[in-house]
Amino acid sequence: MDGLEMDRVAEVIVGGAGGAPGRRGSGYRVTERHVLTAAHLVEPPPPTLKVRFDADRPAEWSTGARVVLSSGPADLALLELTGGLPEAGSALRPPRYAVLPDEPVTLTVSAVGFPRFKLREYRGADAGGPPVRYRDSCHVDGTVSVLSNRRAGTLEVAVPPPAEDVEPDRSPWEGMSGAPLWAGGAIIGLITTHHRSDGLARLAAVRVARWYDLLTAAEADALRTRAGLPGRPEALAGPGTGEGDGAPSGAPPSLAALPHTLTLGELRHLVDALTALPTLRRANGLDAVLAGIDPRVAAHRPRDDRLRFEVYGVIRTCLRFPGTLDRFLAELRTWEEGSAELLAVDRAMAELALRHS
């Protein structure tokens, strides 16, 4: 669960109007005073709203909250904590957000929330007292096949189903809405729906990339300033490639596992990203970069007047000599010195690393 911190997982407790039963949902504390959750939990505006962390644990705490952003089209809400906070010190750093490749890729994902089937009941020390009911946390490991649900703009999350469906009129997944979906240490979506027709082993999550299409300018700005979402989708790296505003943190993903038989079609995103780099678009730029790595690549690569095909030939040649593709890309980073075009290279590297890991 790299990236997901359990003490930031939130249980959203919504009061009902006029004494009506309330509802529960899930969320995540993205900054010191802000919690990300699903909009349908807080619409219409509830009479009371509370957020709880680490329930029945030594570090348990809770506070009131108010809605500062609610988007029905994106089913996304941002809550502001209105009470005191338990810890002092520096503000919490926002999580990293990521986009997924529009490719036939299946990813391992995880989420933590509070679904209805985790409802428990026990009697306290006083056996004659009323029973105590609570919802326990549910850590779900599942998979996402990226090309599913493209028309809806959601992610189909395959998960282990609850053992029984004992309430035909209510989904056992009620309460899981609002839980962020994580892959490679980054939030890639927000769980919002359980479609009964999909069965008990499928959930739906709105993709992070769709927020940019569905939020108004004011809503997107609020999410940027209060939750740390980059201001434009182009700044989002793929899972496991970086943090902050899409800039890489630590080592980029290794491509050492790529087979040497990959076609141009399979490598096209990386080739396109590399051919956009200012270094390689300069006269003799590719030769200058290759001078800093294994001389076998320069000696054996095919020559072509078209940069796209020449770069493809270099990649294929590097794959014949283990480790040289990573060295080639590392050398390019030195020449580029953090150019904006490197973001596209990072995304393409992430796609390939995920597909062939």
SS (H, E, C) 254-290: CCCCCCCCCCHHHHHHHHHHHHCCHHHHCCCHHHHHH
Q: What single string gives the DSSP state of each residue in 184-195?
A: TTEEEEEEEE--
Give me the pLDDT at residue 76, please.
97
- Tens of pLDDT, residue by residue over 213-237, are 999 999 999 998 899 888 777 656 5
The amino acid at 336 = E
Higher pLDDT, 74 or 103: 74
* Distance, CA of 320 to CA of 37 (rounded, Å): 47
Give me the pLDDT at residue 249, please.
39
* Distance, CA of 253 to CA of 240 (rounded, Å): 7
pLDDT score of 242 more than 50? no
- Tens of pLDDT, residue by residue over 319-350, are 999 889 999 999 998 888 767 777 778 777 87
Give me the pLDDT at residue 232, please.
75
Tokens matching residue 305: 């007047």
* Distance, CA of 14 to CA of 1 (rounded, Å): 28
Q: How is residue 294 annotated by DSSP?
A: -
Average pLDDT, rounded, for the chain: 85
Work out the pLDDT band at 254, boundaries 50, 70, 90.
confident
Q: How is residue 157 annotated by DSSP?
A: E
CA 131 to chain CA mean position, Å: 38
Tokens matching residue 304: 């072509």
Q: What single string gives the DSSP state of each residue in 313-338?
A: HHHHHHHHSTTHHHHHHHHHHHHHSS
Work out the pLDDT band at 40, boundaries 50, 70, 90.
very high
* Distance, CA of 323 to CA of 346 (rounded, Å): 17
- Tens of pLDDT, residue by residue over 118-167, are 887 765 555 566 666 778 999 999 999 888 988 888 999 999 998 877 67
| Beta-strand relationship, 202-207 and 186-193 | antiparallel
pLDDT score of 211 more than 90? yes
Give me the pLDDT at residue 176, please.
96
Work out the pLDDT band at 5, boundaries 50, 70, 90.
very high
Instruction: Establish how many alpha carbons lie within 13 A of residue 309's alpha carbon, considering only the half-sphere containing its beta carbon.
Output: 5
Is residue 325 a contact partner of residue 256, using CB atoms and an 8 Å limit? yes
Which pTM value belongs to this model? Answer: 0.67
Query: Strand, helix or coil at 131?
Result: coil
Work out the pLDDT band at 207, boundaries 50, 70, 90.
very high
Give me the pLDDT at residue 82, please.
94
